[in-house]
Structures are given as structure tokens and as C-alpha cells.
Structure 1
Amino acid sequence: MIKNRRKQKNHKFKLTASIVILLLTAFFTTACGNVGSDNSYNNEKTPAVSENEENKNLVDLNGVLKVHYINVAQGDAILIQCDDENMIIDAGKNNKAGLVDYYLKEQGVEKLDYVVGTHPHEDHIGGLDLVIDTYDIGTILMPKITATTQTFKDLITSINNKDLKITEPIAGTTYELGKATFEILAPNSSDYSDTNNYSIVIKLTYGDTSFLFTGDCEDVSEEEMVAKGLDLKADVLKIGHHGSRDSTIDEFLLAVDPMYAVISVGRVNTYGHPHKRVMDKLKEKNIDVYRTDESGTVIASSDGNNITFNTSPDSYDYRDGDKSGLVDDNDDSNYPDGSNNNLSVETTNDDSEIFIANIDKVGEIVTIKNNSNKDQNLKGWTLLSVTGNQEYIFEDFIIEAGTSITIASGKAQGDIKWGTANIWNNTGDDNGILKDNNGNIISKFTY
């Protein structure tokens, strides 16, 4: 469905102004402040935007920018692609890591030029350790706040294992992604009482189109951005904190003035997302809403002038904690059909601490993760390839707390060797099931 931008631009004025800017930039250079001194953080200067990016309308936009709001149920995972460059903002919960990895591979991703962990909550950074382990990584952006959770420790371990550094987000810093640019708008303080307000907020611009990504930022951070007079105007707004009542304040929504809103939210959640207050505002302003709980993965495409979506706008329905009549967040059979919308990592308990994190059907490697704080002996546990009805029974093997192991088959190598024959169906669906030594299903990996 094609949605044309409502407001026409004065291109003649913008061209003249842009030429003036180019002349001025010949005499001046832009310096960027250093980030914090923590050893985990990159103390080099952050890259400034190029002269061409200051004059966007003179750049030949031959490609298409794509923004994938990946359906990870109650969490965020956003893939942005432009001119063969890739960026990911968050990667959902731990038990959605395999889903995100599979989706990236389906889009042909081999390198992520930017990895953004908006804030250290599990439903945003849970899958980032697997992402960092699996792909070539460029710049990692994370706010300078730590957490004591195993999820956060796993992420830092993956970063350190690759000898990577974290770049602290500095408001006002601009980066390039192909012919697109993005600017850090928040956080604007170093001390918040609520971790959500540390969320990195990013404005992405491609030609005359723009997108705003907000993580879980709430009223405090939104008020700061409005008070600073930042240019918040954007065509597409990713609603903060999954539509929480504490996000999307009136002044912020007025400043953004979006035509479209995207909400990444689970169909069943105990938080009452999205809230009536937020949905009523969007409806009152006639803002088209796209929701992962209703449409699955939402893909927005921009040619620099117009933005299109892979689906029709969704409803203004709200939850406010009422789960009556709603389906299980882990039951993907109820999702609408669509490319990869039905892909999930499914567990018998959404908080399962040992689970199948990924199945690489082509590489013949299964990754199992222990996200608990204690070691687990897998003796007597079984791993099942559903399509081939093939079963591996674990011998005496301990998966240590906070670590992952790989089970390899065919020509692949891993911590455990299943056999020399290929196990997984490389050309079609082949789900995996992990059972404990009592035959209880602990985790399901479903395509």
C-alpha cells in the first residue's frame, strides 16, 4: 500500500540554502566530543557527517531505504538497510535471538555497520549477543548505564570476545548509513531514575523522508527533547515503550507530527500495551498505525520522496491489561501470513532459561543457550529434528551458566558432534525441539 507524503516541500529554497551551507562548510570543520572514560567504551572521536549529507537534495538517491520492524512479540528489533549497508536497533528477548538471526540471513545481511542497544532491558538486548557473535560488526552504540542481569553480562562478553568497543551516544552526533544519515537525539542526561529514559533516540533521514526510533523512552526524556527545541519532525514514529501510558506525551507527539506510527508489541502482555491514552491520541490525529501484534513484521520502504508499507494500517485497539479474547504471544499459528511473519522461537515458558537460540539449517549447527545462573548437566536430554524425525540424546555434558553450546552435524564442527550426515532440511521448514531427561519439552525452535 502506497502512502504519499502530505506536505509538499519548497525544493528551490532548499537548493539555494544547501549551496550556502556547502560554501560555509569549506571554511569550518566540526569537532565531536569524546565519550566517557570507561574501558568498555570507545574514546575516539565519533565520525562527523560528510558535506554531501549536509546537502541531501543534491545527492542522487538511486536506491531504496528499508526499515524492518521485526515481529519479536513483546520487544523491539529493527533492521535498517540502505545502499548495501545495514543497521540493527535492538534484537528482542533472549528467546527471540534465533528468530532475529534467521531474519537477518533472509535479508542477505553479512555485516552490521551499526548495532544499537537502546537500553539494557532484556526485551531489547536479549538477542544482541548472538547477533554480535554471528556477524561482522562495525560501530556499537549503547548508553552508559550497566545492569546486573545475565543478559547484559552475556552481551558484554560477546563484545569483549570480539575485541569490540562501545561508543557512547552523544546527542547531536550524526552518522552515515549509505546515502541516509541518522542523528542521536537522546539521552540528554546522565542520571535517570528509570532505565527506560536512558534509551537512545535516533532520527533517520533519507532524502525528504524521515523516521524516529525511540526505544523505551518515556515522558522525562521526551520532555527534555522538546525543551531543547530539537528537530523531532518525522514521517514515521516508532512509538516509545510499546505504547505505554508513560510515553508519547502531547508535546512530543505535536513536535514529531508523524503521518505514520509503528508499535512493536506482543499480543498478550501483562503491561497493558498499547494503552488507551496513546491509541486515542493517534486516532484523534488521524495517524495511520502499523502494529506487529496485528500485522506481524512491518516493512517501510522509502525512495527519498514517498514511504510505502508492506501491509495496510492496523486498528486503534488498546489493551490496558485486559487479556480477554487475546491469543498466546508464543502461538504463532495465529499470525497473518506474510514473509517471515510466522517465524518464531517458541518455548514452553517465555522465561525458559535453557533454550534453542538458533538452528542454522544450511550450516548444520544448532545453538543452545543457558541463560540461568547455574550449570546444567544435559545427560539424557534430547534434541529432535521434527521433519526428519531424527533424535540426538545427550551424553554426560555440562552447559555452563551464561554460556552457549553448538551441536554440529554433517561437515560442520561444534562443541558436540551429532554425526557426519546432514540432519536439517536446508530447503524447507525443519523445526527443532529440546526435551529434558524426563521428556518434558523445554524449548521449540519454529520456522
Structure 2
Amino acid sequence: MKKHFTAIIVTILLVSGALGVLGSVYASPGRTDANGGHTCRTNCAKYGLKDGEYHYHNADGSITKTPPKTPPKATEPSETKPSAPLKADKLKPPANGKLSVYFLNVGQGDATYIHTANGDDILIDGGKNEAGPIVVDYLKQLGVKDIEVLISTHPDEDHVGGLDTVLQKLVVKSVYAPKVSHTTDTFKDFLLAVKNEGLTIKEAKAGVAIPLKGVTAKFAGPTKAYGDDLNDWSAVLHLAFGKTSFLFTGDAEAKSEADMIAAKATLKADVLKVGHHGSNTSTSAAFLKAVAPKYAVISVGAGNTYGHPKKTILDRLASAKVTTYRTDTKGTVMAVSDGTKLTFGTVK
């Protein structure tokens, strides 16, 4: 028993000695942080440290008291300057006896107002939900009392979102939309607003003409069903007044574009409303050649997260010598036709 007790005492002394040797090298290590540093707990004065003073150990065994520099704090998203809320631009009323087309600035979305020389009013899309009151503001600025034709190109929120507000605030006489549905509350709100106004939706598809005096308005697409691909379901409208013409494409993408070309739809136009906010999924080289526009308008929001419009599309338009206007840089874009000549104006 005495032998065992003696062995235990010797072991304790050996361990204590070992710890003493380690202590002569490091000043009470304790728990280190991410920099390898810690605060001193014991034997501090021996190493020129105060109790609780932060320090860390260099590779050569020396001690440094000054903490390493920390990288600058990253800017939190909440610290970024919020963008100003979108407001309606101040617009000039349409000219009498001319066709006036307003590519409305509604941020990241689409909304186009058309006033014909005969006095009829057409609205294509209404931007996002929050754009509804802004679109109504635009229409009231322009003296619109009622809308002869309202077109929903497809159920995406940034196109159909504001249309329920328009239906509630203004008298709408007819509604056109492709025969495709969606399960979102935004689209349901649109359908409910149409029903509440006692209207039924007329199908927008290739070959359907809109009965309006003084202009030729006919849908070039969609030419077929596209399943769950809502963009390719987009109603594409060709509008001609005298010798001038426009093509409004919604978000139609390359597949729908190819189908319209194959169906020999009337596509040639002086002004192209560029598909899908300038995404590279639309405005294929073949489609641009078929339309052969002199002017193009891109409806797009400043600083959008999609990277619209894409450089590929801007370069393609430039190579084709197309004069391009953008709502994110110019605000609302206005095109006026007297039947022979086109003039453009912007608010910025």
C-alpha cells in the first residue's frame, strides 16, 4: 500500500513539474480565440503582462500585446441607401389625329398605353401590384375616361399585377388574354376584377384581330399552347397606322419567336417593344431580322436583380442599327405617328 501511495505522489510531482516547464514557455495559455490570442490569468507580471491583459504568442515564442487588426466591417444590406419609391412621370397628353404610344415607366415590369387617331384607348399590361395606382395616375394625366381594349399578355405578376386596380378605377369595355391560367393570388385578383366588371375574357392568339377603326390590330402570337412556360404564352400584338407599325411582344421568348416566324405571322415593324425586358431569352437574331425595326423600347426597372437588359441584346440591337430607348434610363418613352413619320420623346 505504501509503495502505491509513493508512486502516486511521484506521478503528481512529475506532472506538476511538467506543467511548470510549460508555464515557463507560455504565460497561462487558457482558451485562445480565432487569432490564437487570449487573456493572461497567471504569472502575468513575469511576462510583462497585467492580469487579464490580451496577448498572443508568435512562432518564435515571443509575446505580442497588440491584437491583430480586424478586417473592416462588411456593410449590411440594411445600411444601404433605400431606393426612392416609384412615382408617375409627368406626361404630355396625346396629340389629336395621331397615334400616340406611351411605354410607361413602371419599374421592373411592363405597361403600355396607346391612344389611336380615332380616339380609342388601349392598355397592354399594368406592371406589378404596386404599379396599379401609378398606371391609373398616368391614364388620368392623359385624360383617359374609359379603355376600349385592355390586354393582359400573360399571367406573370410584373405584367398583370396592376390590372385589377385599373379595372376597378376605370371603365373597361373589352379584355383580351391568352388562354392560360396561373395559381397566384395576383392572377386570381385580375380574374375577379374582370368578373366584377361583368366582362368575359376574349382569347388572344395568333390570327385574332381587334376591331378598331383607323388602325390594324392583330395578334401574331401565341401560335400554339406552351404548357407551363408562361412567357411563351405571351400575347404578341402587331399594330399598324398608315405606313407605320409597332410590335408589342410581352415576354415572348425564342421558342415563341421561332413559331411566329414559321407561321409567317406579320412581324415587320418600325418599333419593337423588346421581349422580356431585354433578357437574352428573347429577341433572337432570327426574330430581330424578321421584325427589322428602326426603333426599340425596353421596359425595365433600374437596378433590377435580373441583370436586364442583357449586354448581348443591347449589342445585337446596336449591330442592327436599331435606336434603342430604355425606361430605366429615360423614364416613360413616347412614340407619336402621323401615319407616315415617327417621332420619339422621353421625360428625362
TM over 0.5: yes
* Residue 227 of structure 1: how far off its partner (Å): 1.0
Cα separation, 1, equivalents of 2:274 and 2:227:
20
Q: Which has the higher helix share?
A: 2
CA shift digits 1:132-161 (9 cap, x unpaired):
111111110011111111111111111111
The TM-score with structure 2 as length reference comes to 0.71
Equivalent residue for 2:108, pick from 43, 63, 74? 74
* Residue 260 of structure 1: how far off its partner (Å): 0.2
Equivalent residue for 2:188, pick from 139, 153, 161? 153
Q: Does the aligned pair in 2 maintain the 1:84–1:178 contact within 8 Å? A: no
CA shift digits 1:163-200 (9 cap, x unpaired):
11000113112223341121111011123341100000
Cα separation, 1, equivalents of 2:128 and 2:228:
23
What amino acid is aligned across from residue 306 of structure 1 in structure 2? K
Calculate percent identity across the aligned residue pairs.
Answer: 47
Identify the residue that residue 98 of structure 2 maps to in structure 1.
64
Q: Does the aligned pair in 2 maintain the 1:74–1:269 contact within 8 Å? A: yes
Identify the residue that residue 163 of structure 1 maps to in structure 2.
198
Residue 300, structure 1, aligned to residue 335, structure 2? yes
Q: Does the aligned pair in 1 maintain the 2:111–2:125 contact within 8 Å? A: yes
* Residue 116 of structure 1: how far off its partner (Å): 0.3
Cα separation, 2, equivalents of 1:163 and 1:193:
28
Cα separation, 1, equivalents of 2:336 and 2:227:
35
Cα separation, 2, equivalents of 1:288 and 1:181:
24
Equivalent residue for 2:345, pick from 310, 313, 319? 310
Equivalent residue for 1:113, pick from 148, 157, 164? 148
The TM-score with structure 1 as length reference comes to 0.55
Identify the residue that residue 251 of structure 2 maps to in structure 1.
216
In the alignment, structure 2 segments of 5+ residues that lack a partner are 1-95
* Residue 65 of structure 1: how far off its partner (Å): 0.2
Residue 287, structure 1, aligned to residue 322, structure 2? yes
Identify the residue that residue 434 of structure 1 maps to in structure 2.
none
Cα separation, 2, equivalents of 1:292 and 1:178:
29
What amino acid is aligned across from residue 104 of structure 2 in structure 1? I
Residue 252, structure 1, aligned to residue 317, structure 2? no
CA shift digits 1:220-267 (9 cap, x unpaired):
100001111222110000000000011001111000000000000011
Cα separation, 2, equivalents of 1:110 and 1:123:
24
What amino acid is aligned across from residue 236 of structure 1 in structure 2? V
CA shift digits 1:99-129 (9 cap, x unpaired):
1000000001011000000000110011100
Cα separation, 2, equivalents of 1:177 and 1:102:
25
Structure with greater Cα Rg? 2
Structure 2 counterparts to residues 48-447 of structure 1, below 5 A:
63-82=97-116, 83-311=118-346, 338=347
What amino acid is aligned across from residue 79 of structure 1 in structure 2? Y
Q: Does the aligned pair in 1 maintain the 2:127–2:159 contact within 8 Å? A: yes
* Secondary structure of the structure 1 residue equivalent to 2:123: strand
Q: Does the aligned pair in 1 maintain the 2:178–2:205 contact within 8 Å? A: no
* Secondary structure of the structure 2 residue equivalent to 1:182: strand
Cα separation, 2, equivalents of 1:161 and 1:138:
13
Q: Which has the higher strand share?
A: 1
Identify the residue that residue 53 of structure 1 maps to in structure 2.
none
* Secondary structure of the structure 2 residue equivalent to 1:177: coil
Identify the residue that residue 66 of structure 2 maps to in structure 1.
none
In the alignment, structure 1 segments of 5+ residues that lack a partner are 1-61, 312-337, 342-447
* Secondary structure of the structure 2 residue equivalent to 1:224: helix
Q: Does the aligned pair in 1 maintain the 2:209–2:217 contact within 8 Å? A: yes
What amino acid is aligned across from residue 199 of structure 1 in structure 2? S
What amino acid is aligned across from residue 137 of structure 1 in structure 2? V
What amino acid is aligned across from residue 81 of structure 1 in structure 2? H
Cα separation, 2, equivalents of 1:81 and 1:219:
29
CA shift digits 1:41-77 (9 cap, x unpaired):
xxxxxxxxxxxxxxxxxxxxx8100000000010000
Cα separation, 2, equivalents of 1:255 and 1:88:
25
CA shift digits 1:328-358 (9 cap, x unpaired):
xxxxxxxxxx3xx7xxxxxxxxxxxxxxxxx
What amino acid is aligned across from residue 241 of structure 1 in structure 2? H
Cα separation, 1, equivalents of 2:152 and 2:264:
25
Q: Does the aligned pair in 2 maintain the 1:180–1:206 contact within 8 Å? A: yes
RMSD: 1.4
Q: Does the aligned pair in 1 maintain the 2:126–2:160 contact within 8 Å? A: yes
Q: Does the aligned pair in 1 maintain the 2:205–2:235 contact within 8 Å? A: no
Tell me how many residue pairs correspond in the alignment: 253
Cα separation, 1, equivalents of 2:317 and 2:265:
22
**Runs of 4+ deviating beyond 4 Å:** none
Identify the residue that residue 319 of structure 1 maps to in structure 2.
none
Alpha-carbon distance change, 104 to 214 in structure 1, aligned in 2, over 3 angstroms: same
Q: Does the aligned pair in 2 maintain the 1:114–1:137 contact within 8 Å? A: yes
